[in-house]
Structure 1
C-alpha cells in the first residue's frame, strides 16, 4: 500500500511524513497540481490525496482509470470543482474533509469583521500613501456589539461564527435553505434571504458553492444591503459576482468587504513556493481599497487545520484501500 499527495504545501510536509511513519505506509508528495498530465507521477500508487481549487476534470478521471487508481481523498471541504459524474463513470471513489477545523474559518471571519469595523484599512492607507500616521475622525469605527450580524449558512462553520459574534455582544440572525431544528436560543432564522440581507450590518457567508447559489450576491443583492454594511466571504468565490462587488464598494452601496476567496482562483494561489506576482486585475483593484481586506484563501490556515486535513485525508485512503467504511464519501 502506498499513496501520493499532490499540491503539497511546505506546512503540510511534516504531517504527511509523520502519518506515513506512524502507519508504516509509503507516502510520496509533490508540489504540482493534479492534472491529466501530472497524474503520471501517481503510476503505481494505490490512492491520491488532493488539494486544489482548479477543476478535477473528466479527462483527469479517465486518466485515473487508465492508471488503475480508484481512490481520491481531498484534503479540503469543497467539491464544487469536481466532475462527480466522470468520477463515478471511471470507478473513482472520492472523500473530503468536511470538518477539519470549523473554528479556524469562523475566527478568521470575525477577524475580518473587526478589521473592517474599526477601519484599520484606512489607517494603513494613510501611512502608506502619505507617510503620515495620526488620529483622524474618519477612522471612527463601530463596536460589534452595536451591530446585527447575518450568517448565511448554519453548518459547522456558521454555528461557530454565531457563537463568536454572540460572544462579542452582536445580535445574530441567520438564513439557511436547510435550517437546523434547535438553535439553542443562540440566534433566529429570518423569514427569507432578502430579509437577512436588508437587516444585517455585517453579512458573513458560510455555505458551500452550488449551482443554485452561483452569483447569489450580485448587483441586486448589494442594492438591498445597508450602505453601512460589511460583507465577509470566507466560503466560495463563485457565490459572489466580483464585478458587482467592486461596483458596490466603489459606489457606496456597501461600506466594506472581507474577501478570502474570489472567483477563478489560480493554481498559484495554493502553491506555497510560488514567487509569481499577482496579475489578476480584480484582486489588484480590491487590494487598493482601504475598505477591503483581501487574503489568499487562508481562513482555514492554522496548525490544527493543516494537521487534520492531512491526517483525515490519509486515513480515508487507507480505509478505502482496506475496504473499510468511510463516512465522508462524496457522491
Structure 2
C-alpha cells in the first residue's frame, strides 16, 4: 500500500520508518502542506496522511478523489481541517489518532503554568545577562488555587491528576460526566460557574462549531480579574482579539498558548529570517505575561511512537477491510 505524507518533518520520517518495519507499506514523504495547490502531487497513492495544518476542504477532497485516494489518515486527534461531508460524498474514508500520549499534552500544560507563574523564561534571560535581581519575578503557590478544566477527556483528566498533586481545587465543565473524574475529586460545574471561580483556566475541549471562540469577550468578562488562561487544545477555542483586549485591561493576568487560531502559516517552520506578517500574533508577543510555544505539547518520543503505530494500524485495517475504531 502506497501512502503519501504531507507536511513531513524529519521526525516523521524517523518514527514512521521505524514503525513501518512491522507493516511494510510504501511511504512517500512530502514537505509541503496539503492544500488546493498541492493536492495533485498525490499520484498512485490510495492513502494520504495529514497533520493538523493540512487543509482537506471540499475542493481538495475532489482533487484527491480524482487522484484515486480512498483513505485520509490523520496523524493527530483533531479532524476539523477535513470536510467530512465532502469526503463521504467522494467515497473517501477518514481515520485519526484519537489518543497517543495524553501525558505529553498534560505535562506541557503544567510547564506553561509553572513558567508563567514563576516567570522562568524571563529569569533565564536575566541570568544570562548577569541580572540576578528578583523584582518582577514574584509568583504564587499553586497549592490551594482553583483550577478550571474546560473539557475533561483523556488529556483533561491527566492534567487534573497532576494538578491534584499540587493541592489545587479542581473544577470541570464538560458535556459528558465521567465517574472516574468524580473519583479524582473533580467538581463538575456549569460553564458560568467555571469561569467565575477559576484562578487558572485550562482548555482541553475539541474544536467544534459550538466551542469555536468559546473564550470570547463575554466569557472573558465573567472570569476573575487576573486569571491565568492556558490553551494547549485548539487555537480557535480563543477569540484572539478579545483576549488581547483582556490582556490590555488586566482581566487576563497570564496567557499561555501552545496553539493559535491562525497558526497554519507560522508553526512548524523556521521563520527566524523573515518578517512575520501576522500583526495579531506579533501583538501577543509584546506582552510580558504571555508565553507562546509553537504547537509542541504533543512532541515527546512516547507520543510520536504512539502516533506512528496507531496510524499504521489504521492503514492496515483499511487494507484488510476491517474497522479500526478510529473512523470519523
TM-score (norm 2): 0.93
Q: Hey, what does 2:260 align to over in structure 1? A: 262
157-166 or 260-269, which deviates more: 260-269
180-189 or 227-236, which deviates more: 180-189
55-64 or 45-54, which deviates more: 45-54
Query: Which structure exhibits the higher relative contact order, with contacts defined as CA atoms closer than 8 Å and separated by 6 or more residues?
Result: 1
SS at the partner of 1:146? coil
Q: Which of 299, 302, 306 is the aligned partner of 1:308?
A: 306
Aligned-residue offset at 1:137: 4.2
Map 1:65-76 onto structure 2 (within 5 A): 65-76=65-76
Aligned-residue offset at 1:5: 1.3
User: 2 CA distance for matches of 1:156 and 1:276?
Assistant: 38
User: 1 CA distance for matches of 2:305 and 2:280?
Assistant: 32
Aligned-residue offset at 1:124: 5.6
SS at the partner of 1:160? helix
Q: Is residue 9–residue 271 contact of structure 1 (8 Å, CA) maintained in 2?
A: no
Q: Hey, what does 2:3 align to over in structure 1? A: 3
User: 2 CA distance for matches of 1:323 and 1:151?
Assistant: 39
Per-residue CA deviation, residues 189-212 of structure 1 (Å, 9 max, x unaligned), is 343101011111110000001101
Count of residues paired in the alignment? 328
User: 1 CA distance for matches of 2:17 and 2:265?
Assistant: 24
SS at the partner of 2:99? coil
| Cα root mean square deviation, aligned | 2.1
Map 1:236-247 onto structure 2 (within 5 A): 236-247=234-245
151-160 or 57-66, which deviates more: 57-66
Per-residue CA deviation, residues 282-302 of structure 1 (Å, 9 max, x unaligned), is 222222211111111111111
Aligned-residue offset at 1:138: 3.1
Q: Hey, what does 1:210 align to over in structure 2? A: 208
Per-residue CA deviation, residues 121-162 of structure 1 (Å, 9 max, x unaligned), is 55467679xx56233343221111131111110100000000
Aligned-residue offset at 1:272: 6.6
User: 2 CA distance for matches of 1:326 and 1:267?
Assistant: 32
SS at the partner of 2:82? coil
Unaligned residue ranges in structure 2 (runs of 5+): none
User: 1 CA distance for matches of 2:230 and 2:269?
Assistant: 24
Per-residue CA deviation, residues 310-329 of structure 1 (Å, 9 max, x unaligned), is 22112211210221221000
Matched, 1:96 2:63: no
Matched, 1:15 2:15: yes
Map 1:180-329 onto structure 2 (within 5 A): 180-271=178-269, 276-329=274-327
Unaligned residue ranges in structure 1 (runs of 5+): none
Q: Hey, what does 1:84 align to over in structure 2? A: 84
TM-score (norm 1): 0.92
Q: Hey, what does 1:173 align to over in structure 2? A: 171
